[in-house]
Amino acid sequence: MTWDTFIWFALFSAVCWLCAGGLAFQPKKAAAVNALMLAGLLGMGVFIAGFWVELGRPPLRTMGETRLWYGFFLAAAGYATYRRWKYPWLLLFPSLIACVFVGINLVRPEIHSASLMPALQSVYFIPHVTVYILSYAILGVATAAALIRLAGGGRKNSAALYAVMDNSVYIGFGFLLLGMLSGALWAKDAWGHYWSWDPKETWAFITAVAYLLYIHLRLRYKDGTFALWLLPAAFVLLLIAWIGVSYLPAAQGSTHIYS
């Protein structure tokens, strides 16, 4: 199996995942959702396995190859989380992002072979980035729920809205923690120390502490608007950690910037 046959597997898996993500919003379609998700995962899995055999090495060397794994793991982790929590958006979000990765590989084949610098060649690369992407998507949902409440929405059913906020913060924070810890283990192998207060690390820490504050605040102060405001604020910090760090004057020495 090569990149030439990829298009058939990619289209199959993408269509399966997108249909599953859409059907998840329909009650009583659980069997179809399960079948579609698993079929999509199987398709992508077969391609990765065949590609691996064809190459005679794990397909982890180029950017295009690592994107295959992102797509696969995002769909898999999103599906597992959906099975646990039954929120339809928890399936649709990761499915969409997985399809974006698959799509990049289809639409811009010239960057398949963009080479991966030595510092990025690690077993931690895929899990580290995948759990962070998942975490950001889930915390984005928490932010949306908080904004709906702040705008005066969901007044009749505020308990349900708060449940979505709390649940998604806990789950998103769990993934955030996994991303941070896998990053620390990777940093020990790549840079010599597990935590160096590199600007990217500092901002990842800031983001985590902000959500930690929300979690502890909600244990006692159930009806405070402060907690509601904390979620969009924490998401701004998250965006700085994710995208903004490259532009901060305080972060120009970061070893985390790959251009």
Partner 1 sequence: MVKNGRPLWQAPWQFRESALVCCGIAAAGFALQAVIGPFDFFFLHWPGNLFILALLCIGIALGACYGKTSFSRWLSSLPLALCLIGALLFFSLIMGFTPQAGGAGPGDARLLARLGLTRVTSAWPFILLYAFTLVSLGMTIVRRFFNFSLRDYVFYLNHIGLWVVLAAAGLGAADVQRLVMHVREGETEWRVYGQGGAVLELPLAVTLKDFAMEEYPPKLAVINMQTGRPQPEGKPLFLPISASGPEALRGRLGVWEVSLESYIHEAIKKGEDYVPSPMPVSTPAALVKARNTLSGEIKRGWVCSGGSVPEFFSGLSLDGTLLLVMTRPEPRRYLSDIVVLTQDGDKIEHRLEVNKPLRVGFWNLYQYSYDSKAGKASAYSSIELVYDPWLYPVYAGVAIMLAGGVCLVWAGAGAGRARS
Residues that bind partner 1 (CB under 8 A): 81, 84-85, 110, 113-115, 117-119, 121-122, 163, 166-167, 169-171, 173-175, 177-178, 181, 184-186, 188-190, 192-195, 197, 199, 202-203, 205-206, 209-210, 212-213, 215-221, 240, 248-250, 252-253
Q: Would you say 26 or 113 has its CB closer to partner 1?
A: 113
Which residues lie across from 62 on neighbouring strands? 115
CA separation, residue 192 to residues 68, 177, 254 (Å):
29, 21, 15
Q: Would you say 31 or 107 has its CB closer to partner 1?
A: 107
Q: Would you say 18 or 206 has its CB closer to partner 1?
A: 206
Closest contact distance (angstroms) between CB of 245 and partner 1 is 9
Q: Are 138 and 172 in contact (CB under 8 A)?
A: yes
Q: Would you say 35 or 163 has its CB closer to partner 1?
A: 163
Closest contact distance (angstroms) between CB of 127 and partner 1 is 11
Q: What is the DSSP letter of 153?
A: -
Neighbouring C-beta atoms of residue 238, cutoff 10 Å = 26
Closest contact distance (angstroms) between CB of 207 and partner 1 is 10
Q: Would you say 150 or 215 has its CB closer to partner 1?
A: 215
Closest contact distance (angstroms) between CB of 10 and partner 1 is 20
Backbone angles phi, psi at 62, to 5 degrees: -105, 165
CA nearest 202: which of 141, 151, 160, 254?
Answer: 254
Closest contact distance (angstroms) between CB of 33 and partner 1 is 20
CA nearest 140: which of 212, 236, 57?
Answer: 236
Can you tell me whether residue 115 is helix, strand or coil? strand
Cα–Cα dist 209/180, whole Å: 12
